[in-house]
Amino acid sequence: MIKNHLKTAWRTLTHNRIYSLSNLLGLTIALLVFMLISALVVDELSFDRQWSNSRELYRMRIVPKETQEGFTNNSSGSPEGISAAMKTNFPEILGYTSINSNSQKLTVNRLSKQLAEISTLEIDSGFFNLFDTKIVAGNPKQIIAGAKNITLTASAVQKYFGGKDVLEYIL
C-alpha cells in the first residue's frame, strides 16, 4: 500500500513540477524560519540558568544610541557607582556586583614561551556572593583582595598549566 502511495506522489511531483517545487520551497522556508525562531526562544529562556539563584539575578545596563560623525555607539554599560547608589535607594536590592569586560588580554608565558592570550573580566567583591562558583584552590576571601590576583577556571588551569597547582604562580 505504501508502494502505491509513493508511486502516486512521484507521478504528481513529476507532472506538476512548478506547483510541486513551489510547495516544497515554501515548506522548506517555513521549516527554516520555525527552527530559527525556536532556537532563539530556547536560547533566551535558558539564559543564565546555570546559576542556582538565576530567577533573582538581574542585569542593569544602559545602551546609548549616540551618533557622531556617522559612528554609532552600540556598546552597553552603566556608570561606575550606580550599583551602590541603587542599593542605597532601593533596600529590596540584596546585593550587586560590577563586571568589566573591557579588560586587556592576559598573556600566559611559561618557560619563556608564549602559550596564549586570555580575555579577562574585572569583577568586584560582590561577584562570588551572587554567583555560586566552585572554588577549587585558594582562599575565597583573598581572590579579589589585590589588583594583581586572578581567578582561573579549572579548564584553563588544565589547558595552560597541565593541571598542576598554580597558586602563587607569577604570570
Higher pLDDT pick, 111 / 87: 87
Domain coordinates in residue numbering, the chain: 2-45, 51-94, 97-171
What is the biggest distance separating any 2 CA atoms in the chain, rounded to whole angstroms? 77
Instruction: Give residue-wise pLDDT tens across range 33-56.
Output: 999 999 999 988 887 778 888 888
Whole-number pLDDT of residue 5: 94
Burial class (CB in 10 A: 0-12, 13-18, 19+), 152: buried
Residue 78: CB atoms within 10 Å: 13
